[in-house]
Amino acid sequence: MADTVDAPVTRRPRRLLPLDLVRGFLIGMAELVPGVSGGTVALVTGVYEQLIDSASHVLSAVRRLVTGPDRARAVGVEIRRTDWWLILPVLVGMATAVLTMAGVMSGFVTDHPEHARGLFLGLVAASVAVPIRMLPAAHRPAWFDVAVLVAAAVAAFVLTSFAAGGVVAEPAPVVVFAAAAVAICALVVPGVSGSFFLLAVGLYTPTLDAVHERDLGYMAVFALGAITGLALFVRLLHHLLHQHRRTTLLAMAGLMVGSLRALWPWQSSGEDGHGPGALLVPTAPVAGPVLLALLGAVVVTVLVVVESRHHPSEPR
């Protein structure tokens, strides 16, 4: 894909800074919960594509700094094209959520699993409408769209069944680095939970404990792995969203549908109380999880309606 370094830059209104801090906080909280994707929250709050585009410009600046030519000018152009008034508040909000809510969210999921999963089930189920309403006009047969949607949903359903909830007591730094690189890729894909991946490889509890206890060594290795994974993945996702938009959005919707398997409120738990198990028929408590699921769906629906009025969908 050719670079267009002289493309016009759209500046984000600074009055949105407080709202973007809240968006970042919500994205960070979502990533603390197995089965919930931060990318889903970014989609619902209307900043997903802007974040991916801006991250792509940052990575392009780094690449041009290393490879050239005309390093100074090329880097300057990419930096100016980056929406810093969106990226920085979102990052600050995410960091605040992770540092302050890790223990709280872990306790909520552990102590009230049915209620927690009920709430997130409603949130994610209603969020499936977001990528669907962003679809551009179809240029392929309907069966192809259905196949992409179903394949992604089945893949997510099967993968979430693998998170047994075991714990690695003392993970090696190289394992932490590699897990973070993969988990951060899950962060930017709606319907794929980075926390769920950490749970599957036994690093969910150690990572939350490290954040809660301010284990700077563990956190530094994790952050380095996350930056590496982000650098390798964001450019690919940016390309897919712009060059294969309909297929990519359908796959995202399918992943979100399949991930609902992890959020069914009534299921047996993994070894540390976080992981999924066999799906069960509804048993007490029933009213609480159902009401929270409805509340989650209503909240997302309101957000989608408000976002659509401020930024109506346009064909791309």
What would the pLDDT profile of 148-158 be if each residue is shown by its tens digit? Answer: 999 999 988 88
Within 8 A by CB and 6+ apart from 63, the residues are none
pLDDT tens profile 231-259: 778 878 888 888 898 999 899 889 888 88
Within-domain flag for 227 = yes
Residue that the structure tokens 């047996």 belong to: 268
What confidence tier does 93 reach under pLDDT thresholds 50, 70, 90? Answer: very high
Asked whether residue 7 is domain-assigned, the answer is: no
Residues 116-155 as b or e (16 or more Cβ within 10 Å = b): bbbbbbbbbbbbbbbbeebbeeeeeeeeebeebbeebbee
The Cα 75–Cα 97 span in angstroms is 31
- Number of domains the chain is built from: 1
Task: Tell whether 178 is covered by a domain.
Answer: yes
| Tokens encoding 200 | 């599957």
pLDDT attached to residue 166: 54
Residue 256, in any domain of the structure: yes
Residue 143: predicted pLDDT: 93
| Domain-embedded: residue 303 | yes
CB 116 within 8 A of CB 32: no
- Count of residues making up the chain: 316
pLDDT tens for 286-313 read 999 999 999 988 888 887 777 666 555 4
Answer yes or no: is 141 within a domain. Answer: yes
Judged against a pLDDT cut of 50, whether residue 5 lies above it is answered with no
Nearest to 52 by CA among 233, 249, 304: 233
Share of the chain above pLDDT 90, in %: 15
As a whole number of angstroms, the distance between CA 159 and CA 37 comes to: 14
Q: What is the per-residue pLDDT for 147?
A: 96
Range of the domain at 143: 16-310
Q: Kindly report the pTM of this predicted structure.
A: 0.71
In a domain, 5, yes or no: no
